[in-house]
Amino acid sequence: MNLRRDDPILNMSGVRFQWPGRTSFALNVPAFCLQRGETVLLLGESGSGKSTLLSLICGTLQTGTGTIAVSGTDLAALSGAGRDRLRAEQIGVIFQQFNLLPFATVSDNILLPLRFAPNRRSRTKMPFEEATRLCRSLGLPDDLLGQRAASLSVGQQQRVAVARALIGQPPLMIADEPTSSLDAGSQNAFLDLMFGQLGEIGASLLMVSHDPRLGDRFDRVVELSDIAMIEGRAA
Amino acid sequence: MIIRLAIASLSARALTVGMTILAIALSVTLFLGVEKIRTGAKTSFSDTISGTDLIVGARSGSVQLLLYSVFRIGNATNNVTWESYQEIAQRPEIEWIVPISLGDSHRQFRVMGTSTAFFEYYQYRQDRSLETAEGALMDDLFDAVIGSDVADTLEYSVGDPIVVAHGLASFTEHKDQPFRVSGILKKTGTPVDRTVIVSMEAIEAIHVDWKSGAKVPGKTTPVDMIRQMDLTPKAVTAALIGVKSPLQTFTLQRAVNDYTEEPLLAILPGVALQELWGIVGIAETALLAVSAMVVVTALIGMMATIFSSLNERRREMAIFRAVGARPSNILGMLVLEAMLTAAVGALLGFCFLYVGLLAAQPVLDSAYGIWLPIEPPKWREIGVVLAVIAAGAIVSLVPAYRAYRLSLADGMMVKS
C-alpha cells in the first residue's frame, strides 16, 4: 500500500449506502474527513445509522456510490479480502460490549489482531512484552494476562479491548459506545487511560456515543445528523 | 495461536464437544475392532494349519473337506478306504502322511483318531508343534490325549477315565471301553484344543460290537479280547500329507483327484482357505460397511453440533472479523476445530480399542480360539484415523460454509 503521511486517515465523500433489497432505508454521507491524530466524537442516538456508518468505514459493508478512503486507500478499489486486510492493519475497533473471545486468555485476545496484520506484527518486536506493557499502562495487573477473558469484569474487559485495538499501533481507532456499559466513575478513568495511550502512538479516534458530556476531551464533536442524512429508519 | 484458540474454544464447549468426541471415538473403536476381529479370525484360521501340503478326503467340496478335517466343522460325506489310503501313502512324492478318523464325540468335544505321527507333523502358527502340558502321548490302546480346552472345561487331569460316545450328539456311549486321559496338550488356539485324540486302532476297537451305527444287541466283547483282535482301520476320514518337494504337490494332487478306485479329493489348505474367504467375504464387507456407516453417522452428528453452535458463536465470529479476519479465516477455523475434534475422537477410539482388546483377548481366545494380537498400530489403522480426520474436515465444510455466509453478512455487528 502506498501511503502518504499527509492523507487524512479517513475521507468520505458522496457516500450513499442502501441495504440490498431494501428501498426504505438509505444512508448518505456527502463529506466527512478525519485528520491523522485527530479525535472526533460522533453523537447519535441508536437507530441513527451509526452501525452502518462504522461498518462502511471498516469495510464490512460496501457503498454503492461515493468514496471512502482509509489512509488514502479507496475501499471500493479493494477486494473483500483486501478490505479485511486494510481493516486489520489500519483500524483498531472497540465495541460497547462483547469485545473479547470469552474462552481465550487475555494475552491471546490482545495479540489476536497481529495474526491478521503482518505490518502491525512486524512493528511489534516482542508481542507478549508489548501486551504486558499495554495492560500495565491501562491499569491492569500482570497476572490478568493468563486468565480467560470471561473471568474479567466488564471494566477490565473494555480496557483489554483498548489494548487489543492499540497493539501494533494502528493509525485509527474506532470506538462504538465503549463506555456505555461502565458506571460514571469508571467511564472517566477508562477514557483517561484510553486517551493517554492514543496520544502516545498518535492515533486518530472516531468514537460514537449518545452522551454529549464526553465532548470536552475531543478535538471535535460532530452530530451524526450533520454529516449523515438518513432516509427511512435503520433496522 | 490459532490452534490454541481453537482448543480453547472447543474446551469452552466441553460438554457438547465431549459427547461428539465420544461418539466419534466409539464409532472408530467399532470400526477398528471389526477390522481387528476380521483379520484376527483370518490369521487364526490360517494359523490353524501350516506345514501341511495336501489334505485328502472323500470327494466333496474343497471348503467342506478343509472345514471338517481341520476345523471340525461339519461332517464328512464319506470315508476313504484303508486300501486307498495305503496306496496313496506308498506314492514316491509322500514325505509323511497322517490319517484322521472322525465321527465320535466326548461330551461336546469331538474325538479324533490318528497316529502318533500327527503330533510330529501337525503344525500351527507357521512352525509350532503340539506339546504336552501334562502326561504323555498315547501309549496304550485306550489312551487319549486331550486338548487344553477339553481339560479346562471338563476339569480332567491325567489318569481320569473318559467314555466316548458314538456319533456327534448321541447318547449311546461306548461304555464298554472306557478310555484314560494319558496327556493334556498345551494351548494352541486351534481346534486341537477342543479335540480328544485317540489312536486309529482305538477308533476301531470301540466299534467292534457295532454294526451300521448301532450296537449289536447282547454282544459285548471283553476288553481283553479286543486287545487280541486285528484292529487295522477299515477306513479313514481324511489324511494330512507332506510332500518331499513343493513342486510335487500338484502332481500328487492330480494323482489323487484322478484316482480311479474311489472318488477322492486332494486340496491345498491355503487355496481352500482362499475359497473360504471368498465365501465369507461378502458378509465381511457388509460388516465393514456397517461399521463405516457408524463412523459416518458420528461425523454427521458432529456436523449437526457445529450447525447448532453457529448461532451462539456469531458474536465470536464478529470479533474475529473486527480484528481483520476474513470470512475464509472463519471457515478455516471451523474446519480446524472439526479436524481437531475428529482427531481426538479417532485417537480416543484407538485407546478404547486397546482397552477393549486387553479385556476381550482372553475371552475371545478361550471361547472362539481367535487370538487378537495387541501390537502397535498398523499403517492401515493409521490410515483409518487420517481418513476420519479428513472426513471430519469435509463434513464440517457444510456448516463452515454457512458460517462463512453468516460472517460475511454480519460483518462486525451481530444483528440479533
Q: Is residue A4 part of a domain?
A: no
Distance CA B262, CA B259 (A): 7
Q: What is the pLDDT of residue A167?
A: 93
Element (H, E) at B363: helix B327-368
Q: What is the pLDDT of residues A145-195, one digit of tens each?
A: 999 999 999 889 999 999 999 999 999 999 998 988 888 888 888 999 999
**Single-letter residue type at B149:** D
Q: What is the pLDDT of residues B46-61, one digit of tens each?
A: 888 888 899 999 998 8
| Residue A222, domain CATH | 3.40.50.300
Interface of A with B (CB under 8 A): 51, 54-55, 58, 60-61, 80-81, 84-85, 87-89, 93, 95, 98-105, 108, 111-113, 115-117, 148, 164, 235
Q: What is the pLDDT of residue B190?
A: 85
Cell numbers found for residue B50 = 501350516
Q: Please name which of A203, A157, A209, A159 lies closest in space to residue A180, comparing C-alpha atoms.
A: A209
Q: What is the pLDDT of residue B85?
A: 93
| Total domains present in chain A | 1
* Residue A108 structural domain: 10-230
CB atoms near residue B365 (< 10 Å): 18
Distance CA A183, CA A84 (A): 33
CB atoms near residue A143 (< 10 Å): 8
Task: Kindly report the average pLDDT of chain B as a whole number.
Answer: 87
Higher pLDDT, B16 or B104: B16
CB-based contact, B413 to chain A, within 8 Å: yes
CB atoms near residue B211 (< 10 Å): 10
Q: Please name which of B89, B109, B111, B87 lies closest in space to residue B99, comparing C-alpha atoms.
A: B89
Q: Is residue A1 part of a domain?
A: no
CB-based contact, B4 to chain A, within 8 Å: yes
Based on its alpha-carbon atoms, the radius of gyration of chain A, rounded to whole angstroms, reads 17
Per-residue pLDDT at B64 exceeds 60 = yes
Q: Which residues of B touch A100 (CB under 8 A)?
A: 319
CB-based contact, B8 to chain A, within 8 Å: yes
* Residue B411 near residue B330, CB atoms below 8 Å: no
CB-based contact, B319 to chain A, within 8 Å: yes
Interface contact flag, A93 B328, Cβ < 8 Å: no
Query: How far, CA to CA in Å, does B378 sit from each of B29, B214, B372?
Result: 15, 55, 14
CB-based contact, B407 to chain A, within 8 Å: no
* Nearest-CB residue to A60 (from B4, B328, B412): B412
Higher pLDDT, B34 or B166: B34
Higher pLDDT, B126 or B287: B287
Q: What is the pLDDT of residues A80-138, one digit of tens each?
A: 899 999 999 999 999 888 889 999 999 999 999 999 999 999 999 899 999 999 999 88
User: Residues A192-230, buried b or exposed e (16+ Cβ, 10 A)?
Assistant: ebbeebbeeeebbbbbbbeeeebeeebeebbebeebbeb
Per-residue pLDDT at B413 exceeds 50 = yes
CB contact set of A105 (below 8 Å; sequence gap of 6+): A145, A146, A147, A148, A149, B8
* Residue B357 near residue B351, CB atoms below 8 Å: no
* Nearest-CB residue to B411 (from A60, A100, A117): A60
Q: Which residues of A touch B328 (CB under 8 A)?
A: 81
